[in-house]
Structure 1
């Protein structure tokens, strides 16, 4: 069995850690400056608390599951400690960010998670690319996480994640933006009626997006900027996903709004009331 250090057990990371512990692996995590909610998640997943340096010294594999905005800095912190095992970045970053992190480690695997936290089989897939992909795949064999081998090239797994999230989250940002604009001009109900007349079902879709994405918007802004960087590097221009990032930034304060379903009205109102990006 393998000793893995997980950075960090958020909603997604805890499910990754649980899949590993259920496969018999030892999973360490660094509890310093983490919330009680995170500590409870880690305990429920069977993870073992550790100090940062100790966790790296014991680990054969380090898995990073963090908000995309801190993925590179977390990788740098691990590299600065001289970690020489397999570093697996599973974050929603552009391929060029994955390549940047890969340069920090002698052994690196690029990963991209699609789907919700992996508590049930058949919901969550993990794309992997890099020379050590098979080793990481073996950690999850038979677990709730289905792996996809995308070959030996660093950046392929990130490109897979970017492509998936560009639509699932980017289209959500666009839909919320359209609803907010229609509301600002006093034509929201007419827009919904027109959508309904054409059988598009977009009012229901808009409400679902507001409820699902509102509380997660705090980390989607950086993800949209990573997607923007990826799209620009492919020669496809800039602007669309930067604007999506700004849309999510305006809703970042809804991070803790998990005690009740958000309404479309309050999410579009918050978009309109938020100060413009500087």
Structure 2
């Protein structure tokens, strides 16, 4: 595939989407984004990535050969509905958000005339040498076309099969563990700190390689991403229910993230971050449980 002849419409340039767009631009792929209703931060990211702005979604859909959806998970289906209303068909739609297989299939049903590929990104945005993997599943030719877009980039692709939903199932399986582990680490450190044994906890954790407990600087990062992670864990809970497994842990983790709803775009210390989780249980702290 001649990437220079391809126009990709990016929905939307968040930190991950803008980084993907930048790699496509380095391969001389034309990358469009819709400026209507987007924030000044989105504008800055798009300009830094060399993306070309269009005024509205109708213009974007009309001019794009491929649409790449990388938006907050909670908005994925709504974005697909908006695209469908613009008459997108006969072209490639890469649904690359962390949503359940059921919701990916819902997106495919909304776009019956398009080739909808299930995509899932595992890893950090491809900046500073980081190399995330874009897992793909669905139509074989569509997956090959998606793979060709990133052949010479730091985005590595891996095709899992022809069933729409497989890539998303893998993503939620991984993120349900990884994100819940970050939340548990924050809570463990918080309770240790409240009881004056945080340093001892870190010593114990340091004896085990790769323990999230040692990465206390990640606690504010977890809180700052809570607005995006909470819907993802809600979808992870839904996936657990779909396969008949308990979803209580994921729902509890999502509730913790919702308590960090005010942490977005704030530069907080660990102590300030943990203070946002304080809960008044309506009883004397010295009372027996």
For normalisation by structure 1, the TM-score amounts to 0.90
Distance in 2 (alpha carbons) for counterparts of 1:254 and 1:122: 25
Structure 1 pair 195/41, CA: closer, same or farther in 2 (3 Å)? closer
State the distance in 2 between where 1:274 and 1:138 align. Answer: 54
Q: Find the partner of 2:127 among 116, 119, 122.
A: 119
Contact 2:24 2:150 in 1 (8 A): yes
Inter-partner Cα distance in structure 2 for 1:250 and 1:73:
25
Among 72, 76, 85, which residue is 1:71 paired with?
A: 76
Query: The residue matched to 1:44 in structure 2 has which SS?
Result: helix
Q: Which one of the candidate residues 29, 50, 59 is aligned to 1:54?
A: 59
The one of 41, 45, 48 aligned to 1:44: 48
Select which of 266, 271, 274 maps to 1:268: 274
Offset of 1:97 from its aligned partner?
1.1
Is residue 2:143 matched to residue 1:133? yes
Gaps of 5+ in 1: none
- Which sections of structure 2, spanning at least 5 residues, go unmatched? 282-289
Task: Work out the CA distance in 1 between the residues paired with 2:280 and 2:53.
Answer: 39
Quote how far apart the aligned CAs of 1:123 are. 2.5
1:230 counterpart = 2:239: yes
8 Å contact from structure 1 (residues 206, 264) kept in 2: no
CA distance change for structure 1 residues 146 and 268 in 2, over 3 Å: closer, same or farther? same
- Distance change (3 Å), C-alpha of 1:76 and 1:266: same
The alpha-carbon deviation at position 180 of structure 1 amounts to 3.8
User: CA contact under 8 A between 1:215 and 1:255: conserved in structure 2?
Assistant: yes
Does 2:149 correspond to 1:143? no
Q: Deviation digits for residues 119-167 of structure 1, max 9, x if unmatched?
A: 2445211111110111111111111100111111101110111122112
Decide whether the 8 Å contact of 2:120 with 2:136 is kept in 1. yes
| RMSD of aligned Cα (Å) | 2.1
Question: In structure 1, the residue corresponding to 2:264 is in which secondary structure?
Answer: helix
SS at match of 2:37: coil
- The equivalent of 2:178 in structure 1 is 168
Alignment of 1:1-278 (within 5 A): 1-50=5-54, 51-84=56-89, 85-105=91-111, 106=113, 107-131=115-139, 132-182=142-192, 186-187=194-195, 189-190=196-197, 192-194=199-201, 196-197=203-204, 199-200=207-208, 205-258=214-267, 262-273=268-279
Per-residue CA distance 1:180-228 (angstroms, 9 max, x = gap): 4555xx42x2365256247358685351330321211111110110111
Distance 1:122 1:179, change over 3 A: closer
